[in-house]
Structure 1
Amino acid sequence: MPAERRDGGAGAPWRFGPRRTGALGSLTVVSACVLFGLAGTTSRILIDHGVSALTVTEFRMFFGFLTLFTVLGTTRRHLLRVSRQWLPRVAALGLSLALVIYCYSMAIARLPLAVALVLQFSSAAWLAAADAVRQRQRPPSNILVALPLTLGGVILMVGVGGAQLSRLDPTGLVFGLATAGAYILYLVCGRSIGSAVPASTSTMYGSLVAAAAWSCVQPPWRIENTAWEPRTLVPLLLVGVLGMAAPFALVLAAVRRLGPTRVSMLGTFEIVATSVIAYVWIGQALTPAQCFGGLLVITGVTVCGRGSRDAKAPADDS
């Protein structure tokens, strides 16, 4: 479909039609999922070598902020400025990001990883239901088809059927559901500032707020000494770049093209990306059921990506 220009005369930015906007937004989310998978595998290796999960998370936020600040400060300094009226929403975005990571860490400490992941990715179902109620109409057909495919694929890939569901920790279940709620809040906050604050800027200041919040939980002087060694700092820097700066900026950009519901559904591809990367990098095997689940997720992501963005979702202007 040919590109169209915004009203605004010569030199106005190009605006793509709905079909190309949806394809570009879907590709953006899939790229973010691959980066999340790389960062997750790196984090797993660091944790296996004695670095605490809290330390990995804290450095991830800080290095994410430092990376974006350096890039924007040297290439697009005007993006460092944020209008005072938008600061509360940017702070809310950062706090929601910190909340996502905190709730997820608490959930996996009390629940089987499989159950925690299913609860996290249930955010897609909650968003689809909320959209249907708010708009007083049935969700689009591609959402109705993609939702059971993606959630069913996630359940197969994480092996939730083998978990002892009758022995689950009630507190862990609360934190698991809170993770989904915090992720929804993060997506909604990202969309609410999309018309005024570029994705890279909101991600930069959001990661700064999240890093500050985590520093209150674990001050820098309480971080284990091994984390400051060069052989550990370099992988931590990579986690900050691959797991914070780049993918979260991509997710926010996609939210402004597709809306929170589709982004949360497309985000289930992270399970596929993480599983494949872990298999290639550290030899983590995949069962036939997991491979079939991955196929379901990929099919669901493809179906979801063929639709237009959520109603009233603003396009990315960054």
Structure 2
Amino acid sequence: MKLSSLPGGLAVAALSALSFGTSGALVKPLLEAGWSPAAAVTVRALTAGLVLLPLAVVALRGRWAALWLARWRVLGMGVVGVACTQLAYFAAISTIPVSTALLIEFLAPLILVGVAWAVSKRMPRPAVFLGSALAVGGLVLVIGPGAIQAVDPIGLTFAFLAAIGCAAYFFIAARPDRDLPPVALAAFGLIVGGVILGVLGATGLLSFTATFGDLPLFGALAPWWVPVVLLVLVSTAIAYATGITAAGVLGSRLASFVGLLEVVFASLFAWLLLGEQLTPLQLLGGLLILGGIAAVRSERAEALPPEEPPQHDVAIVASGEATAAASAH
């Protein structure tokens, strides 16, 4: 299976969602042990970027000019896709329920659909509307119907900013660039985001605390660095590298819909590792999300000639989606 194929891109996108989905089960013991969210995210991003750095250098093969030419893309990934999105999300959950913030943040696929509609002046096909309805309905069921409630307007604002940042992440990752390898964008984007968060923590603008004792993990006591290592390698390095690769193949819209599987995988890991039980409604929600992804995928298959790679879809709407990315700054 070629990576440039639609099935290959879907498989890599699912792997990215699976990897991102482990973060909640790994971060929760750290937060309960006294780590601040800013400290956990900074260590996660900066260390993962350093882990990917040797792979990025090998992939570049001395073509540093490509990195310089893509400097604004790398900066956008670090500032918007990593730092701003995380900060907005944590600001949101400080005043509104986590489930509500997640529900709003994962409306990013609808933002991309709306921007493409506004710019192209062409109404999306019925399959896109069907996929959007199924995905949002499934998302509500997975997170919990109780997420829909009256909440603090400031928290809602930050949650919507996180959704815009999430949409910008998929847009930046999906922009066609033959010279900059996906692993290089992931590595340098994470490093930029980690440095920014670290500076904000060092200046006192963000709470920055960490503990270094044993903590409960998977039903036993483990050193603090065990969840950190897993968080860095699996939930961040692999997640971002595969996510950026998949977005380049699938385009921002379809990749963002597949990204909704992160919520499903997060629920599964919380059940397997933290003992948080899954309900029949959550299982039904997962099936609805899969149905939404299938609907959007079928629309892409009809819209593109067989000989055209999915990458061309990104070029068609890139100028329009750039507006969404710019609005996230």
2:36 maps to a residue whose letter is S
Kindly tell me: are residues 87 and 51 of structure 1, through their superposed partners in 2, closer, same or farther at Cα, counting changes over 3 Å?
A: same
Name the residue aligned to 2:219: none
Kindly tell me: are residues 186 and 225 of structure 1, through their superposed partners in 2, closer, same or farther at Cα, counting changes over 3 Å?
A: closer
Question: With structure 1 as the length reference, what TM-score do the two structures score?
Answer: 0.84
Query: How much does 1:196 deviate?
Result: 2.9
SS in 1 for 2:223: helix
1:242 equivalent to 2:212? Answer no
Name the residue aligned to 1:206: 189
Q: Compare 120-129 and 79-88 and name the one that shifted more.
A: 79-88
Query: How much does 1:190 deviate?
Result: 2.2
C-alpha distance in 2 between matches for 1:77 and 1:192: 18
CA contact (8 A) 2:175 2:314 kept: no
2:284 maps to a residue whose letter is F
Query: How much does 1:80 deviate?
Result: 7.6
Name the residue aligned to 1:217: 200
Kindly tell me: are residues 37 and 15 of structure 1, through their superposed partners in 2, closer, same or farther at Cα, counting changes over 3 Å?
A: closer
Name the residue aligned to 1:115: 100
RMSD, aligned CA: 2.6
Q: Deviations over 1:234-282 (max 9, x none)?
A: 3212211112211111111111111111111111111111111111111
1:95 equivalent to 2:87? Answer no
SS in 2 for 1:295: helix
1:49 maps to a residue whose letter is A
Name stretches of at least 5 consecutive residues in structure 1 with no aligned partner: 4-13
C-alpha distance in 2 between matches for 1:292 and 1:188: 29
C-alpha distance in 1 between matches for 2:160 and 2:48: 26
1:251 equivalent to 2:235? Answer no
Q: How many residues align?
A: 296
2:180 maps to a residue whose letter is V
SS in 2 for 1:94: helix
Question: With structure 2 as the length reference, what TM-score do the two structures score?
Answer: 0.82
CA contact (8 A) 1:72 1:79 kept: no
- Percent sequence identity over aligned pairs: 22
C-alpha distance in 2 between matches for 1:80 and 1:231: 40
1:136 equivalent to 2:126? Answer no
Name the residue aligned to 1:44: 28
Kindly tell me: are residues 300 and 164 of structure 1, through their superposed partners in 2, closer, same or farther at Cα, counting changes over 3 Å?
A: closer
Name stretches of at least 5 consecutive residues in structure 2 with no aligned partner: 215-221, 302-309, 316-329
2:261 maps to a residue whose letter is F
Name the residue aligned to 1:278: 270
Kindly tell me: are residues 76 and 253 of structure 1, through their superposed partners in 2, closer, same or farther at Cα, counting changes over 3 Å?
A: closer
